[in-house]
Chain A
Amino acid sequence: MTTYIVRRILMAIPLLFLITIISFAMMQMAPGDPTALMMDPMIKKENLEAYKEANGLNDNVMVQYFRWLGNMVQGDFGYSLIRQGVPVSELLLARLPNTLLLMGVSSVIAFLISIPLGVISATKRNSLTDYSITFVSFLGIATPNFWIGLMLIMFTSVHMGWFPTGGVSTLGSPFSLWDRLHHLILPAFVLATADMAGLTRYSRSSMLEVLRQDYIRTAKANGFKNKTVIFKHGLRNGLIPIITILGLMLPSFIGGSVIVESIFAWPGIGLLFIDGAFQRDYPVIMAVVVIAATLVVIGNLLADVLYAIFDPRIEY
């Protein structure tokens, strides 16, 4: 198994290389000259050329790529074009905890709601309950989650005043856990909705697969209570494929965070990215894209490794 994990990690390296190449190529396509934003427009032509020469902007594209890659591996993502003099890594570090908190709470919410629904759906197969859950999941897959967010803000925050409309905490008030949670509930829920429908469908089919097995019939024949059979014998095995979904959910969480953070003005990586996109702050855009793609690769890696650990039937 160790060899499998090592091999799997080694396979991810060329992928990460390709990701950085694609990101770099996209930035090369960006119109305009980076110096145009940084320099006084009245600057003399020779001085501008000298600056470009000194900072390696006239170098070969390949040289520039490897310099960028080398710096990035050491945690240097360059400087923001808009907030001049601020390193991108500093911006990222300031925002990352908020995004991770949001994603963590969201995945807990998604699991807590979806898995029980999937299990109920599977055990009461073809009943009215099953059909209702399936129908709601269908609706959930087709509903844009920014619309759910908008509706929730409008009805629960603006009209009813139950939740704040955005931000991480009440401005100017001292830190309180309740206040933070209060701000967290809506965005975390909206982010969770992106995956809830799929996760419910997935746990339903996984559970159905398990309930069809011989050992479930044996357990029932041995006279175990239905509850024991479903939760002790069934769910434990049904959860194995669901665990791997955790890794595969990461991409949609990261993508969803852009939308959710911009609806709720949640100061995370997603909002940093959107602001960067509006201001054409290319170093920021670049850094977030590479980090997001890397997280996705890590997520897939994690899914495969977890599967290998939790399912002893699979040999490598």
Chain B
Amino acid sequence: MSFLEQKAMVTEPFIVEENHNYVHESIWRLMFRKFMANKLAVIGAFLMIIIIGSALFAPWLAPQDPSKQVLLDKLSPPGEKYILGADILGRDTLSRLLYGARISLLVGFASVAGSIFIGTAVGAIAGYYGGTLDAVLMRIVDAVISFPSLFLLITLVTIFEPSVFTLIGVFAVFGWTGTARLVRGEFLSLRSSEFVLAAKTLGIRSSRIIFSHILPNAMGPIIVSATLGVGGVILAEAALSYLGLGIQPPTPSWGNMLQSAQNPQIMLGAWWYPLFPGFMILITVLAFNFIGDGLRDAFDPKISE
């Protein structure tokens, strides 16, 4: 607001009020604008589009079949024939990275979708109804959170045999606790707000109040936690695959590509090989974190542009 406008408001308040021409901007547009103003978030979104695009179009982008072995070319350095070199079995690293992106993103998105679903349901029920139900659900959350997640994941993966679906299931079933706490908090604070009271007075069913009145107001933090969650799952999947308890070869994943890098032949003669999968994990997780932080700021009404 310029000085002149300010003065106009002070001297002629009524005129200003009558002629106001606020643009009625929808909340999502406002957030989009705030998000786009955040440089790191835009960089993150840009990186994510590239990563998702290359995962989707992997069959067309990959120069070679990711499982084609040319033993004569094993551990070729990056060059004309193999842009990022070849691995210990003579498979093209670039192609394997592209196909590995599919696995990482699939596990990341699918697990988070599952854990957000469970977490929101538990958090909404606990926060809305309160009382004993809340206490019991939150103690369960406390217990699940107390397990260092890696131990839990490894234990379950050994029981159920590692595969893409086991991993997604295990991440979904044990990744929901953070979301549950968050949603519960949102519901607790919104439960006693006027609009919920109004809805209750009108005799609207609880399920409808939960889904159409409170949940939309809690969407912001849920989306933020989902975004940050994808990065977390990708890191965890990579760690499990690195240990040999995640995605099993020959299916390429960034984690199991690094597992094969522990070979002394690679350590001594092909130092470039482990750089690429690690770099991909780093960039992908960084992108999700940037986007998550950008969304958090965009959803926070206290932070103005």
Residues from chain A with a CB closer than 8 A to the CB of B113 are: none
Given contacts A15-B146, A146-B258, A150-B261, contact A258 B155 (CB under 8 A): no
What sequence of 0s and 1s flags, for each residue 270-303 of chain B, a beta carbon within 8 Å of any chain A beta carbon?
0100110010011001100110000000000000
A305 proximal to B (CB < 8 A):
no
Determine if A259 and B239 form an interchain contact, defined as CB atoms under 8 angstroms apart. Answer: yes
What sequence of 0s and 1s flags, for each residue 130-162 of chain B, a beta carbon within 8 Å of any chain A beta carbon?
000000000110111011111110111111100
Interface segment out of the listed A22-30, A175-183, A205-213: A22-30
Given contacts A143-B282, A259-B239, contact A289 B147 (CB under 8 A): yes
Q: How far is the CA of A250 from the CA of B294 in the complex (A)?
A: 29
A31: nearest residue on chain B (CB-CB)?
Answer: B159
A17: nearest residue on chain B (CB-CB)?
Answer: B143
Determine if B243 and A15 form an interchain contact, defined as CB atoms under 8 angstroms apart. Answer: no
Given contacts A22-B144, A154-B274, A255-B148, contact A138 B158 (CB under 8 A): no
Q: How far is the CA of A263 from the CA of B267 in the complex (A)?
A: 13
Determine if B286 and A138 form an interchain contact, defined as CB atoms under 8 angstroms apart. Answer: yes
Q: How far is the CA of A222 from the CA of B261 in the complex (A)?
A: 59
A110 proximal to B (CB < 8 A):
no
B281: nearest residue on chain A (CB-CB)?
Answer: A144
Nearest-CB distance from A110 to chain B (Å)? Answer: 17
Residues from chain A with a CB closer than 8 A to the CB of B140 are: 18
Contact of A147 among B150, B156, B258, B290 (CB under 8 A): B258
B238 proximal to A (CB < 8 A):
yes
Nearest-CB distance from A268 to chain B (Å)? Answer: 13
Residues from chain A with a CB closer than 8 A to the CB of B268 are: 158-159
Determine if A289 and B152 form an interchain contact, defined as CB atoms under 8 angstroms apart. Answer: yes
Determine if A144 and B159 form an interchain contact, defined as CB atoms under 8 angstroms apart. Answer: no
Determine if B262 and A150 form an interchain contact, defined as CB atoms under 8 angstroms apart. Answer: yes
A153 proximal to B (CB < 8 A):
yes
Nearest-CB distance from A176 to chain B (Å)? Answer: 26
A277 proximal to B (CB < 8 A):
yes
Determine if A151 and B289 form an interchain contact, defined as CB atoms under 8 angstroms apart. Answer: no
B156: nearest residue on chain A (CB-CB)?
Answer: A26
Given contacts A29-B159, A138-B289, A262-B243, contact A251 B154 (CB under 8 A): no
Q: How far is the CA of A43 from the CA of B149 in the complex (A)?
A: 40
Q: How far is the CA of A238 from the CA of B147 in the complex (A)?
A: 29
Determine if B155 and A297 form an interchain contact, defined as CB atoms under 8 angstroms apart. Answer: no
Nearest-CB distance from A196 to chain B (Å)? Answer: 16
Query: Of residues 249 to 285 in A, which have CB atoms within 8 Å of B's CB atoms?
Result: 251-252, 254-256, 258-259, 262-263, 273-274, 277-278, 280, 285
What sequence of 0s and 1s flags, for each residue 299-314 of chain A, a beta carbon within 8 Å of any chain B beta carbon?
0100000000000000
Contact of B242 among A19, A31, A146, A159 (CB under 8 A): A146
Determine if B159 and A30 form an interchain contact, defined as CB atoms under 8 angstroms apart. Answer: yes
Determine if A147 and B281 form an interchain contact, defined as CB atoms under 8 angstroms apart. Answer: yes
Contact of A150 among B147, B243, B258 (CB under 8 A): B258
Residues from chain A with a CB closer than 8 A to the CB of B158 are: 277-278, 280, 285
Determine if B155 and A277 form an interchain contact, defined as CB atoms under 8 angstroms apart. Answer: yes
Q: How far is the CA of A81 from the CA of B267 in the complex (A)?
A: 35
Nearest-CB distance from A285 to chain B (Å)? Answer: 6
A155 proximal to B (CB < 8 A):
yes
Determine if B148 and A293 form an interchain contact, defined as CB atoms under 8 angstroms apart. Answer: yes
B231 proximal to A (CB < 8 A):
yes
Q: How far is the CA of A54 from the CA of B292 in the complex (A)?
A: 57
Which 10 residue pairs are nearest across A and B when measured between Cβ atoms? Answer: A18-B143, A147-B278, A142-B285, A255-B150, A255-B148, A142-B286, A158-B267, A277-B158, A251-B148, A30-B159
Given pairs A27-B159, A296-B146, A296-B148, 17 additional interface contacts (CB within 8 A) = A15-B139, A18-B142, A18-B143, A29-B159, A31-B159, A138-B290, A142-B281, A144-B242, A144-B281, A146-B239, A147-B282, A256-B150, A258-B243, A277-B154, A277-B158, A285-B154, A292-B151
Q: What residues make up the interface of A, taking CB atoms closer than 8 Å to B?
A: 14-15, 18-19, 22, 26-27, 29-31, 138-139, 141-144, 146-147, 150-151, 153-155, 158-159, 251-252, 254-256, 258-259, 262-263, 273-274, 277-278, 280, 285, 288-289, 292-293, 296-297, 300
29 residue pairs A–B, Cβ–Cβ below 8 Å: A18-B139, A18-B140, A19-B147, A22-B143, A26-B155, A26-B156, A29-B160, A30-B159, A144-B242, A144-B281, A146-B239, A147-B278, A150-B261, A150-B274, A154-B267, A158-B267, A159-B268, A251-B146, A251-B148, A255-B151, A256-B150, A258-B154, A259-B243, A263-B262, A274-B243, A289-B155, A292-B147, A293-B147, A297-B146
